[in-house]
Amino acid sequence: MNVFRILGDLSHLLAMILLLGKIWRSKCCAGISGKSQILFALVFTTRYLDLFTNFISIYNTVMKVVFLLCAYVTVYMIYGKFRKTFDSENDTFRLEFLLVPVIGLSFLENYNFTPLEILWTFSIYLESVAILPQLFMISKTGEAETITTHYLFFLGLYRALYLANWIRRYQTENFYDQIAVVSGVVQTIFYCDFFYLYVTKGRCWENRVVAGTGLRSYF
């Protein structure tokens, strides 16, 4: 544990709380990709199966449980409680384009060919691309609500802080997790254009207007 890891976890948690708070207060899911939220729920489910087999610390266990709960509550709100407000017409990214290669890569590139290890590897690879349906949705509509952009910003900040965490661990512990680092770099790259737009167009986004013109280049 180091300060970058803790700040990364808090940034991740804040992003999820912001999204849940937005849905609950507005009673609306417009502008939020349900497909991205399903992928994140799948990420946490496959990564945290060791909750039943491996105790690391109270902090670790609590954070895992909170992330799982937040992920599944978000999915329930989108597809259950507030499903009438869900913009399914614009949430059209085809998940098989992500799931099929990620599953294949998980079997080909892992540290140990066991069920739990393959599922953990799957979660790492999937997290690196899970935000793509949300970015695709923004690029398709050309709009993003202020709270959605804040959600994406803190998700991207979480990944950037984790990169700093890995650098710090390499310096102090000589620890290097190639799968996690490479996947984290890929994920951070997807946020780079968004970070630029977030900073340069922040005032516009405060008024709930256009966001994502640069994101169109991804799709």
Q: For 123-142, how does the pLDDT look when each residue is reduced to its tens digit (9 = 90+)?
A: 999 999 999 999 888 888 77
The tens digit of pLDDT for each residue in 140-184 reads 877 767 667 888 889 989 988 999 999 998 899 888 889 998 998
The tens digit of pLDDT for each residue in 84-128 reads 999 899 999 999 999 999 999 999 999 999 999 999 999 999 999
Does 209 score more than 50 pLDDT? no
Closest by CA position to 43, among listed 89, 6, 82, 98: 98
The pLDDT of residue 205: 46
Please compute Rg for the chain using Cα positions.
Answer: 17
